[in-house]
Every structure is written in C-alpha cells, then in structure tokens.
Amino acid sequence: MWFIIRHPCSGGADSLLSSNDDSNNGNCGDGIDNDNGGKADEDDPDCYANPSTFQGYDPSRTEANRDNDL
C-alpha cells in the first residue's frame, strides 16, 4: 500500500531540508545545538555579533563553528 503526502509549501522537497549554504536563514533561535559544539543559541558564541564578549545576540545568525563552543 502506498500513501502520498502532500505538503502545502513552495520549494518542493528541498525546502524541507536545512542547508548550511543558505546564509539567509539563521538557526540561532531554534533551541538546538546545530553545530554540535555543546552550546545552543544564546550560549553559542556564533549567535553573537561580538562573540568574545557575548554582546549583540542575533537569532537570525547561524551556528557554524563548533570549535568556539568552550
């Protein structure tokens, strides 16, 4: 038996998959440790404009550098 599931979004199946190359969509506001570095969102330096001082939190930034999650 086969089932067809229709998802009401544009962009096809590729729009359902996340991409690290899409710089327009940040993942700092999703509550997930996306770079698997041990820190998520407000605890991850990648989510700040000035990561060395944790100033300028921006949920539209992207967690990309797992090496800075000390």
Question: Tens of pLDDT along 4-53?
Answer: 666 555 455 544 455 544 445 689 999 999 999 999 999 999 999 999 99
Output the pLDDT for position 70. 74
Q: How far apart are CA 67 and CA 37, in angstroms?
A: 7
Res 65 pLDDT > 50? yes
- Establish how many alpha carbons lie within 13 A of residue 56's alpha carbon, considering only the half-sphere containing its beta carbon: 8
- Establish how many alpha carbons lie within 13 A of residue 43's alpha carbon, considering only the half-sphere containing its beta carbon: 12
Look at the pTM and tell me if it is higher than 0.85: no
Give the alpha-carbon dihedral of 17, 44, 31, 58, to 10 degrees: -80
Q: Where are the domains of the chain?
A: 35-70
With contact defined as beta carbons under 8 Å apart, do 24 and 18 qualify? Answer: no
